[in-house]
Homo-oligomer: A and B are copies of this chain.
Amino acid sequence: MNYQYYMPTRAIIGEDCILNHSDVFKTLGKRAMLVTGARSAKLNGSAKDIMSALEAVGITYLVYDKVMSNPTVACAYEGAALAKANDVDFIIAIGGGSPMDAGKAIALLAAQDIEPSALFSGKYENKVLPIVAVPTTAGTGSEVTQYSILTNDAMQTKTGIASNYIFPAIAFLDSKYMEALSYTTLVNTAVDALSHAVEGMLSVRRSFISDALAMESIRSIMETLKAIAGMGDDVKMTSEMRDKLLYASFMAGIVIAQTGTTVVHAMGYALTYSKGIDHGKANGLLMGSYLKLVSKQDSDLADKIVSVMGYDSIESMDKLILPMIGEGVHLSEDEIEHYTQKVLKTSNVLNCLVKPAKEDIMNMYQEALNAM
């Protein structure tokens, strides 16, 4: 089998990297649009650093700060209309996965006309505004992927745009923007990143290099999760811990840029769409159940992953993670049937090394959400 490795984003990494590298923006154009959520980019200092850097090199900008959690297709079109109306040269997306994913879709839609019905087709012209991504959580890895995950009301789930055109041109990684993250956000985003690394190892597109990065990422994330377990709102992270988590999430992003995600993400998207469960938490609820299914057909692989985590069983992993992410919701039999139908339509199922049948997916939902 042939496979590919590709990740063209230039990452600039370390404290104050935005202010130290303001010259980089001059290579992208003269007018920028910042894409953020309503609050966090303002509170954590990332938007201020970007604005200072842009002002230092004479680049004008406007701000689109209306990205909600699990951004909608409508949000992407709204942002793109604003970018077009203002002749923006490039997009700077700041935040967790939501603003970064919205920013990528905006950069695509601002540069070419795509009907909403064709938005997830994967067929685009090679025209997109350059994207700068500034992650302010350590979870999504969106700063180094070709994915933009949007809430797709037509499909009643979250769906991804996947195109090499939307890899960010530049990613700035400065963990100081994570200082004020709550315990809940830290845990949920770290579990999201963990899930990327683990699912990368469970994908048919797994390779020597995605595995190398995934294992290093898993080690770092588990070290951090074990260190902060149970701390709750008193959580204290040193800057070294924040760096480690941000870099682990970055590596896990490079992993899924190669491998894609598995049935765990597809199952999680349905939960997030219909039940509002946080994305990282949804993956965390389901990961153990899928690892158990993998274990039945390829115990060496499941053992290897669990051992990289520093455990000797999937149960031990769940014993750490499940209390940290908190309880799920109860699903009715009808809901499980409904979500399973949606999951079966995704390409994620085909992307699994161990392919789940319909009853496997139903059992995983059952185990993860009804047996608590």
Contacts and interface: CB of A to CB of B under 8 A. Distances in A.
Contacts of A216: 208, 212
A213 interface: yes
A237 to B, nearest CB: 16
B13 A2 contact: yes
A12 B5 CA distance: 7
Copies of this chain held together in the complex: 2
Nearest to A10: B6
A5 B8 CA distance: 10
A5 B11 contact: yes
A5 B172 CA distance: 10
B247 A208 contact: yes
Given A212-B251, A213-B212, A17 B5 contact: no
Interface in A1-58: 1-17, 20-21
Q: Which of A3, A4, A8, A16 has the most CB of B within 10 A?
A: A4
A3 B13 contact: yes
B20 A13 contact: no
A159 to B, nearest CB: 25
Contacts of A244: 208
A216 to B, nearest CB: 4
A8 B8 contact: yes
Interface in A263-292: none
A4 B8 contact: no
A207 interface: yes
Nearest to A250: B209
Interface of A: 1-17, 20-21, 207-209, 212-213, 216, 220, 244, 247, 250-251
